Structures are given as C-alpha cells and as structure tokens.
A and B are shown apart, each in its own frame.
Chain A
Amino acid sequence: DAGVIQSPRHEVTEMGQEVTLRCKPISGHDYLFWYRQTMMRGLELLIYFNNNVPIDDSGMPEDRFSAKMPNASFSTLKIQPSEPRDSAVYFCASSFSGGNTEAFFGQGTRLTVV
C-alpha cells in the first residue's frame, strides 16, 4: 500500500476563497482523522470518522470548516471562506479499529492563506 495520500502538498490561496483538502486512507482502515498543526497549538484533532461516519467534530474550529467521507477510500476537508489564520499544515491519518492500533499519517498539506 502507498500509505495515506494527501493532496495537494501545498496550497496557496487568497482570503475568502474556498479550499478543499483531500485524503485517501490506507485500504482496509476504518478510522480516519483530520489534524491541523500550527506553531501555537501543535497537533489538533479536528474531526474523526469511523466507517465513513463522523464521530467527533468538536475540534472543528468554526462553521467555515466542514469534512466529508463519501466512501471508505476518500475524505475531504473544506474551508469556506478561508482566512489567513487558517494557514497551517493539515494532516490526515487512518487506522484500523481505532484504539487498538497506531494511526498512519499522510505527508500533510501546507495551506497558506494570503
């Protein structure tokens, strides 16, 4: 397996634009996590899914952020409208059976909102 695949690797956008980050988890994994990494807050859990169903989205900062998982092999994190304070590295991770095994991370998407 190629591991968790995220796209794009880098995204630069203007304030107010919509941004969509994409993730392909490892085949067979039933948990998918979205994290944001910033200088101030470190690695924050935004939302996680189990079997394509959102379980806990309490980490999503505000309504501008939304995440979907239409099937077991694809998830998106959308920011609309984007703001400069959304600039961060966004990671997707997947695992099998959640708390029994480690989560595998993608390479991340570095988002810059100008």
Chain B
Amino acid sequence: GESVGLHLPTLSVQEGDNSIINCAYSNSASDYFIWYKQESGKGPQFIIDIRSNMDKRQGQRVTVLLNKTVKHLSLQIAATQPGDSAVYFCAENIFEAAGNKLTFGGGTRVLVKP
C-alpha cells in the first residue's frame, strides 16, 4: 500500500524548523479528531488525537490545536526532521445513531529539506 501520488498541497520545511499543517473539518457534530501520517508504501499511522471538549493537546514534538468555532484543526511539528517527510491527514469522527464514522480530509504533503 502506498500513498498514491496525490495532487496535494505541499509544505516545504527546512530541517529543524517548525511545521504547521492545517485542516478544515465539515461537521459541527464531530466529537473526536485524529492526525495520521502516511509514508510511502505504508498505511496511515496514528500521530495524535484530540476530543471535542479540548482545544489543545501535546505529544512528543507534536501539538494539535482545535478551534470548534471555525471548525479548524492544526498540527504543529517542532524541530522538523527528515523522517517527518510524509503525507499528513486529519480525520474526524462523527457519531451516528448506529455507530462512529471516521472520515478523512484531503491531506498535506510535507517535504523536509536538509
């Protein structure tokens, strides 16, 4: 499985700089959000999540910010490294009557320049 060469927005970042990736979500009823990283040849991998009752969550070198007023999510990567080069997706969970539906945004490609 590979990320399929999507026509994606691309963020070029110098190694060591901070990266900010943005995502707009669609459903005001979404209650849980996840950022995924997809490297070539692999499926998406979990980075960090945040619930709708929070506006900020920090992990190791990553921070997610949630602005429910404008339905906006961002991922900040501190001190970007070559291994951070990948496609990043935000995903939103929408509670339906019978279950929880996880849908993805369009993705952003991050290229780290040495």
| Interface contact tally, CB-CB below 8 A | 93
Tell me if A106 and B43 are in contact (CB < 8 A): yes
CB-defined contacts of B46 to chain A, threshold 8 Å? 102-104
Q: Could you tell me if B93 and A43 are in contact, using CB atoms closer than 8 angstroms?
A: no
How many angstroms between the C-alpha atoms of A4 and B41 in the bound complex?
15
Q: State how many angstroms separate the Cβ of A64 from the closest Cβ of chain B.
A: 21
Closest Cβ of chain B: how far from A47's Cβ, in Å?
10
A89 at the interface (CB under 8 A from B): yes
30 contacts across the A-B interface (CB closer than 8 A): A4-B43, A6-B1, A35-B104, A37-B3, A37-B4, A39-B7, A42-B6, A42-B104, A42-B105, A43-B44, A45-B104, A48-B102, A50-B99, A50-B100, A56-B98, A56-B101, A89-B1, A91-B43, A91-B44, A93-B102, A97-B100, A99-B32, A99-B100, A103-B102, A104-B46, A106-B1, A108-B2, A108-B43, A110-B1, A110-B2
Enumerate B21-57 residues with CB–CB distance to A below 8 Å: 31-32, 34, 36, 41-46, 49
Q: Does A9 contact B (CB under 8 A)?
A: yes
Number of interface residues of B (CB under 8 A): 33
| Distance between Cα atoms of A105 and B43 in the complex (Å) | 6
In addition to A56-B99, A102-B49, 8 A-B residue pairs with Cβ atoms within 8 Å of each other are A45-B104, A50-B98, A91-B1, A91-B44, A103-B102, A105-B36, A108-B43, A110-B2
- Min CB gap B27→A, angstroms: 12
Residue from B5, B7, B96 with most neighbouring chain A CB atoms (10 Å): B96
| Chain B neighbourhood of A15, CB < 8 A | none
Judging by beta carbons under 8 Å apart, are A107 and B43 in contact? yes
Q: Is B16 an interface residue (CB 8 A)?
A: no
- Decide: B99 and A42 in contact? CB cutoff 8 A: no
Q: Which residue of A lies closest to B31 (CB)?
A: A99
Query: In the complex, which residue of chain A has the Cβ closest to the Cβ of B92?
Result: A99
Q: Considering the complex, which residues of chain A in the window 49-92 have a beta carbon less than 8 Å from any beta carbon of chain B?
A: 50, 55-56, 88-89, 91
Alpha-carbon distance A97/B102, docked complex (angstroms): 12
Most chain-A CB neighbours within 10 Å: which of B6, B43, B49, B107?
Answer: B43
